[in-house]
Amino acid sequence: MGQLMTELIGQVENGADHDTSPVRFRAPRTGLEIDLSAFSRKRDRNTANSGTVLG
């Protein structure tokens, strides 16, 4: 998780617009690509939950 967040933060701080073109992360062990659009500020809000960290 730390590597994933490091990639996301690093790209955004270097000018990437994560809201219009979500960052993708390649997992080092599996080689699978992970779409990080769930961390976009413009993602659709899940109105079925409380909107808190308790969910």
Helix or strand (DSSP H, E) at 24: strand 24-26
- Supply 29's token pair: 């062990």
Per the CB < 8 A criterion, the answer to whether 23 and 16 are in contact is yes
At 32 the pLDDT is 95
Q: Which residue has the higher pLDDT, 6 or 48?
A: 6
> pLDDT tens for residues 30-49?
999 998 887 887 777 778 87
pLDDT at residue 55 greater than cutoff 70: no
Percent of the chain with pLDDT over 90: 40
d(CA 22, CA 25): 10
At 25 the pLDDT is 93
- Contacts (Cβ under 8 Å, ≥6 apart) of 23: 7, 8, 11, 12, 16, 36
Taking the model in full, what pTM does it have? 0.66
